[in-house]
Amino acid sequence: MGTLFALLFGGATALYLYHKRAENWDTLSHGVNRYIGDLFNTILQTNSTLQPLTALPCSRASRQLTTSAAFSTSIRALTLVTDGVAWCSSATGEIHVSISRVAPGLDLTQPVNADIVTGTPMMPNRPTVVLWSRHPTDLHRGIFTTMNINLNPYLLYTSQQREVYGIALVIHGKILSTFSRRMMTEDELALREIRASRLHGLPVEIRIYGTRWPREDIQLAILFGLFGGAIFGLLTMWFFNSRTRTGLDIMSGIRREQFFTVYQPVMSADDQKMHGIEVLLRWKHPVNGMISPDVFISYAEAQQLIAPLTRHLFSLILADADTLKTILPRGGKVGINLAPGHLHSADFKKDILAFSRALPPGAFQIVFEITERTMLNEAQALPLFEWLHQQGFEIAIDDFGTGHSALIYLQRFKMDYLKIDRGFISAIGTDTVTTPVLDTVLTLARRLHMATVAEGVETRQQARWLIDQGINYLQGYYYSPGLSAEALTAWYSQYTPPVQP
């Protein structure tokens, strides 16, 4: 997640920086276009005022031409033209030079045109821009202007944009740029501009060259990406750890007393009276609310925390022991789930003996219910089961039929109770293969001299069928859900058997 966010944040930063630079480039391009456009427009306005000189002889026109050229830093020379021949220049006076020889690409039929030439007769090795302004009424006459174009000062204008390194004027495929003192062609300047604009009314294109992805932008994007990715990665790790590191949550829940017990009555099939209870552990998380026992017990087993969780369960039962002994008959059964992970732990016997000694003497008959979530180690389990029986405890197979080892338990271990999973009970009265299997399970239990307990009894029909089939004990919502010790006391005082034996 940190890497993904680093890429996204770094990419977003790079795009933001590029967008901001693109805005600056647009502003820069507009500004350069305006300044160069003003230069051309100023010269065109000057030429417009000088157009009447094209009808005068050179002796009368040359003084004003010279004065106009001298007072404009952007003009190298002003030349009067008639029928394509330059006949009077501000620099040399009377001349006779064909414009096609000086600027072969200049179209004199246009009202206004421009071109780039490699040089002029006066300055043959210095490329420049030439501008043509035709007389508004006489199509044979006009003014030919040789301009002083130096693009380097415009780079000063772009100095605030450090990634901009060049400017070029492009006219008819000819290029005058800051990269070379000579005129270049498109093929020679094989660079991609970052912005390009055209002057209104003139075949002049202005190109600005620069680095699209400056090094400082890339470095800044990488820095922001790494920083943001690291922060997001740490936050993600914290979030998932807080969600998935249930081991820490379980220990915290124990310390903060978030776990509590409820007790579900186990009814005798003979008289429909409470014969015992099953202890059920519940967890109310302050953030996630009630967490399913299947979830937190599986986590506890996977993270080897089932032993401290079971010890905490023992302490909760001991806290309710005085209340429970007032409603259970002496020697009443108290079923407690025991996970194989705790059974095989080094402190198992010590935990069991400590719990047994803390109970009111003779008040309860403890039945340890072995779950089938994980496979028992036969070599270790057999002597442990014998030890439990020697200590006066009884053993039950919990949720029989849901795990992979139920028949192995029956074959290899001596069990006292067989608790039938609710999945078999819910199938009673339906046309499924489960009911014949349930008949077989009950027959097998009788032959093995094991008492049977039906879990998940929810309807009168289910209870009646189970009693008729010879079940020993029933447990489920039909009688009562899991209740606190105080609520169980209140339920017991008002209980009336719903099914007669």
Write the DSSP assignment of 70-114 as a string of letters. Answer: HT-TTEEEEEEEETTEEEEETTTEEEEEEHHHH-TT--TTSSEEE
pLDDT tens sequence across 154-191 = 665 555 667 788 889 999 989 998 888 888 888 888 88
Cα–Cα dist 321/309, whole Å:
18
Contacts of residue 338, defined as CB under 8 A and 6 or more positions apart, other chains included, come to 310, 368, 369, 370, 371
Pair 224, 6: CB distance under 8 Å? no
Model-level pTM?
A: 0.54
Cα–Cα dist 392/365, whole Å:
8
Residue type, 402: T
- Secondary structure (3-state) at 121: coil
Pair 321, 359: CB distance under 8 Å? yes
Beta-carbon count within 10 A of 251 CB: 16
Cα–Cα dist 482/289, whole Å:
18
For the stretch 113-147, what's the b/e string if a residue is b when 16 or more beta carbons lie within 10 angstroms of its beta carbon?
A: bbbbbeebeeeeeebbbbbbbbbeeeeebbbbbbb
Strand 259-268, strand 274-285: pairing: antiparallel
pLDDT tens sequence across 82-119 = 999 999 999 889 999 999 888 988 999 999 999 999 87
Q: Give which of 439, 365, 374 is closest to 409, Cα–Cα.
A: 374
Share of the chain above pLDDT 70, in %: 91
Q: Is residue 41 exposed (0-12), middle (13-18) or buried (19+ Cβ within 10 Å)? A: middle
Compute the Cα dihedral for 110, 111, 117, 119 and give only its sign. Answer: positive
Q: Give which of 39, 102, 45 is closest to 68, Cα–Cα.
A: 45
Write the DSSP assignment of 435-497 as a string of letters. Answer: HHHHHHHHHHHHHTT-EEEE----SHHHHHHHHHTT-SEE-STTT---B-HHHHHHHHHH---
Ranges assigned E (strand) in 154-258:
164-171, 174-177, 184-185, 195-198, 205-210
Position of tokens 């077989």? Answer: 440
Q: Give which of 482, 442, 273, 107 is closest to 115, Cα–Cα.
A: 107
Cα–Cα dist 165/195, whole Å:
12
Beta-carbon count within 10 A of 88 CB: 24
Q: Give which of 267, 165, 156, 259 is closest to 211, Cα–Cα.
A: 165
Estimate to the nearest angstrom the gap between the alpha carbon of 109 and the chain centroid.
64
Per-residue pLDDT of the chain (501 residues; tens, 9 = 90+): 888 888 888 888 889 888 888 888 888 889 888 988 999 999 999 999 999 999 999 999 999 999 998 888 888 899 999 999 999 999 889 999 999 888 988 999 999 999 999 877 767 778 889 999 999 999 999 999 998 877 766 665 555 667 788 889 999 989 998 888 888 888 888 888 999 999 998 999 999 998 888 888 888 888 988 988 888 888 888 777 665 554 558 888 899 999 999 999 999 999 899 999 999 999 998 888 898 888 888 888 888 899 999 999 999 999 999 999 999 988 899 999 998 888 888 899 999 999 999 999 988 999 999 875 556 677 788 899 999 999 999 999 887 766 544 566 676 778 889 898 888 888 787 756 456 778 888 888 888 889 999 999 999 999 999 999 899 999 999 999 999 999 999 999 999 887 665
**What domains can be seen in the chain, in order of their start residue?**
1-210 (3.30.450.20), 257-493 (3.20.20.450)
Cα–Cα dist 167/147, whole Å:
17
DSSP one-letter code for 360: P
Token pair in block for residue 453: 């307990």
Phi, psi (5° rounding) for residue 467?
-65, -40
Q: Give which of 220, 160, 170, 218 is closest to 195, Cα–Cα.
A: 170
Pair 253, 286: CB distance under 8 Å? no
